[in-house]
Homo-oligomer: A and B are copies of this chain.
Amino acid sequence: MSEPNEATFDIVILGGGSGGYAAALRAAQLDLSVALIEKGKLGGTCLHNGCIPTKALLHAAEIADQTRESEQFGVKAELVGIDMAAVNSYKDGVISRLYKGLQGLVGSAKNITFVAGAGKLVGQNVVEVDGKRYTGRNVILASGSYAKSLPGLEIDGERIITSDHALTLDRVPASVIVLGGGVIGVEFASVWKSFGVDVTIVEALPRLVAAEDEESSKALERAFRKRKINFKVGKPFEKVEKTDNGVKLTISGGDTVEAELLLVAVGRGPNTANLGYEEQGVKMDRGYVLTDERLRTSVPNVYAVGDIVPGLQLAHRGFQQGIFVAEEIAGQNPAVIDEAGIPRVTYSDPELASVGLTEAKAKEQYGDKVKTYNYNLGGNGKSQILKTAGFVKLVRLEDGPVVGVHMVGARVGELVGEAQLIYNWEAYPAEVAQLVHAHPTQTEALGEAHLALAGKPLHSHA
Interface residues of A (CB under 8 A from B): 18, 22, 25-26, 29, 46, 51-52, 55-56, 59-60, 63-64, 66-67, 70-90, 94, 97-98, 101-102, 105, 108, 314-317, 319-320, 323, 335, 341-345, 353, 378-379, 381-382, 384-386, 411, 413-418, 420-422, 424-425, 427, 431-432, 434-444, 446-447, 455-462
Contacts and interface: CB of A to CB of B under 8 A. Distances in A.
Contact of A417 (B320, B343, B446): B446
A72 B93 CA distance: 11
Nearest to A420: B435
A417 B438 contact: yes
Contacts of A87: 73-75
Contacts of A344: 438
A411 B440 CA distance: 12
A435 B421 contact: yes
Contact of A59 (B63, B385, B462): B385
A66 B70 CA distance: 10
14 contacts: A26-B456, A26-B458, A29-B456, A46-B439, A63-B75, A74-B85, A78-B80, A94-B385, A314-B438, A317-B436, A319-B439, A343-B437, A343-B438, A420-B435
A436 B417 CA distance: 9
A447 B320 CA distance: 12
A436 B320 contact: yes
A377 B420 CA distance: 21
Contacts of A431: 425
A77 B76 contact: no
Nearest to A443: B417
A343 B447 CA distance: 13
A-B pairs with lowest CB-CB distance, top 8: A74-B87, A417-B443, A74-B86, A76-B80, A320-B436, A417-B418, A418-B418, A343-B438
A398 B315 CA distance: 31
A384 B94 contact: yes
Contacts of A415: 414, 417
Contact of A98 (B51, B105, B384, B456): B384
A80 B385 CA distance: 22
A384 B64 CA distance: 18
Given A67-B77, A88-B74, A385-B56, A51 B439 contact: yes
A435 B67 contact: no
Nearest to A462: B29
A381 B416 contact: no
Nearest to A52: B381
Contacts of A317: 436
Contacts of A85: 74
A434 B335 contact: yes
Contacts of A26: 456, 458
A46 B438 CA distance: 12
Contacts of A442: 414
A203 B381 CA distance: 30
Contact of A316 (B315, B343, B439): B439
B458 A441 contact: no
B323 A105 contact: no
Contact of A381 (B70, B80, B98, B438): B98
Contact of A319 (B29, B381, B458): B458
Nearest to A344: B438
B417 A441 contact: yes
Contacts of A105: 459-461
Contacts of A25: 458
Contacts of A384: 94, 97-98
A438 B59 contact: no
Given A316-B444, A414-B442, 11 more contacts: A51-B381, A59-B385, A64-B77, A71-B83, A73-B87, A74-B84, A101-B378, A417-B417, A417-B443, A421-B422, A425-B431
